[in-house]
Structure 1
């Protein structure tokens, strides 16, 4: 299937300008996506536009990633309810260098041409009066006010600084069109207004047509925003901010419905492979075939074989059946899919049933906790507990202060005594 058909099947097309599909059929196209340096790492939300660039690259076209050394000084109001905090120059430059490294790491994997460019290249020498006269003259305020990203902010307030962002992004597209022969801009659905302003500017200044498509904003099947851990933290691409293990566990812990949706979006497996995986998973959902394959593919894509192996080894230590290999203390501190509790140190010397009920509420009653132990469904530090009268002692604690409790097959608790 061609690029547009494949992206449509994967659920990656929301809006598209007329003639887009024909253009991609007829010639090699240069297409771009912008990345502003709002943090020192990209996150899962930024991974999706990177994947769009890779799809473009794998289809024989030329991807361009624009890092926003210029626009990053302003901040895009799209999708935001309040004004962004402006970055100081040192932070801006550091963030730029970090995300540029991450983009390069992804785009060089295919071994095909790509371009990374900083839009400070054309903004740093531009004078405000020249921008207002030569560019602002061609786009009316009425046109800019009609954009959804602007209308949504009018009630809460939109500064002139952020209002100009739309025109700056439009100029990005115009500059790339005239200097890099870039005919296509891609982005998330919230970028449609900014992108079409760029198309309008190109039309007015050159009399030529430019093209665009957007992908839907990432949401879970229940409609909630996708890309954060259970604790509400961003899932970063930087392994120092989100370890390969945490990254891997994020995908492992997706629901079946989310895994079916995300394996199409975040992997390059073909339709036949994905259909087979979905069928196998539906026949044996308890084996979590989809989640494991999704976690494997995306972790390898972002962190390489070494990062994937590290994530699998840590996962095995925590959740595998082997009882003689336990996680080290740093791994315990980064576990996901585990409910954490903190208790006074004195509480570690207590009857197990009391700990499981009165102290932690892991079980609603002593009777239920007792039945779970008698049925072989309770593990303490990966060791099956069979004695309902067991007492907890200091020697039961990992590293002198932790208890890792498993209740049944899926419920894990980490108690830290402080």
Structure 2
């Protein structure tokens, strides 16, 4: 099957300019395309992984990806979907984040022999001469039209700075620069980027009189309408130091029954025939599909060994089996428990709860266990007697486990 049809069948595509032309181009030619990643954190997230999968499908079909690191545009910050101005980050912080992104992307795409390219828009944006930029680029943008786009219109009541207003012009220039340098014909991105992407696509067509295209894919959301990869503790990161392989596995293993087939299509490279077999499963049988979803993603992000360890640990927990070394773990000094340590305070320290009131509420609802014993007392204190072979296991609800070790 041709790549446009693959992306369509798996449910990626949201909008595209000149869709029939683009289908013909992608299915019958080899092009260079790009996706931008603003360096707002020091790790990519599971939300970014959908974009990476699109790049992998495209590269597999012979197209050349440009991974554009937003070292320049991050200096401003995309106003899309924000009610307030983003926090302004230092150049040093942005450069560090961009390096982290580059390291992660280099493991997920094939950059050998020019099959993929890294670019950083700091290389051209930070040296702009304002007057020259406005004379060449600014004259092609209508303020009236820009104010009709949701990314700006939704900010008019709260206030919109000129600083943020320039973001669309800079992102649009990225497309023009990559077209001129690499012959880039297509920009891809999430559906929330549509208005920004139209600016670049129109700019290249206007200044270069050539056919280029933009295409967005659907944002990764759950059946409950929540962005996938968001938890009470925060994002699911691709960096194993921020989210362990086991935690990622457990998050994916516990997705809603309504989501598992959709996520298999979007987030794994499994063949559609195999996914259609999983689609026939119902009820508890769907756990097989969830397990495969978790295994495939952890394998591709962290390697097969970590995927196998996470699978083993997960199965042990779901069967109420023995503890596993792959469970999220916190280490404490033995002295911390010699005189007893309040359980609710401990839960706060290890990040299982956000506040003491949440801990008390969970205990009241029988939602906290220590070594499989339901906790009944808000004031319960843990001592060295609660540890077996130097460890104990705290459980929140049915699926969140955490090991406490003493040294």
TM-score of Structure 1 vs Structure 2, range by shorter chain: 0.7 to 0.9
The residue that corresponds to 2:86 in the other structure is 84
Rate the CA distance shift 1:179–1:414 in 2: closer, same or farther, 3 A. Answer: closer
Tell me: CA distance 1:135–1:397, structure 2 relative to 1, closer, same or farther (3 Å): same
Unaligned 5+ segments in structure 2 are: 332-341, 347-359, 374-381
- Does the CA contact (< 8 Å) of 2:328 and 2:401 recur in 1? no
Give, in angstroms, the shift of residue 333 of structure 1: 4.5
Q: Mapping of 1:16-415 within 5 angstroms?
A: 16-18=16-18, 19-108=21-110, 113-229=115-231, 231-279=232-280, 281-282=281-282, 285-286=284-285, 288-316=287-315, 318-320=317-319, 322-323=321-322, 326-327=323-324, 331-333=328-330, 342-343=343-344, 360-361=363-364, 381=371, 395-398=385-388, 402=392, 404=394, 410=398
Q: How many residues align?
A: 372
Matched, 1:4 2:4: yes
**Counterpart-to-counterpart distance in 2, 1:406 and 1:126:** 53
SS of aligned partner of 1:117: strand
* Mapped partners of 1:358, 1:70: distance in 2: 45
What secondary structure is seen at the aligned counterpart in 1 of 2:230?
coil
**Superposed CA offset, 1:331-375 (max 9, x none):** 3449xxxxxx93589xxxxxxxxxxx99934559xxxxxxxxxxx
User: Take 2:140 and 2:286, find their aligned partners in 1: how far apart are those partners?
Assistant: 58
1:321 shift after superposition: 5.1
Using the TM superposition, give the Cα deviation of residue 178 of structure 1 relative to its aligned residue in structure 2, in angstroms: 1.3
SS at match of 1:65: strand
Residue in 2 aligned with 1:373?
none
Secondary structure of 1:240's aligned partner:
coil
The verdict on how the C-alpha distance between 1:361 and 1:412 changes in structure 2, with shifts beyond 3 A counting, is farther
TM-score by length of 2: 0.82
The alpha-carbon deviation at position 396 of structure 1 amounts to 4.5
Q: 1:272 to 1:127 in 2, by over 3 A?
A: same
Offset of residue 120 of structure 1: 1.6
Q: State whether residues 380 and 406 of structure 1, in contact with CA within 8 Å, keep that contact through their aligned partners in structure 2.
A: no
Between the aligned partners of 2:324 and 2:217, the Cα distance in structure 1 is: 40
How far apart are the structure 2 equivalents of 1:299 and 1:414?
19
Rounded to whole Å, the distance in 1 between the matches of 2:25 and 2:277 is 33
RMSD: 3.2
> Mean alpha-carbon deviation: is it higher for 75-84 or for 163-172?
75-84
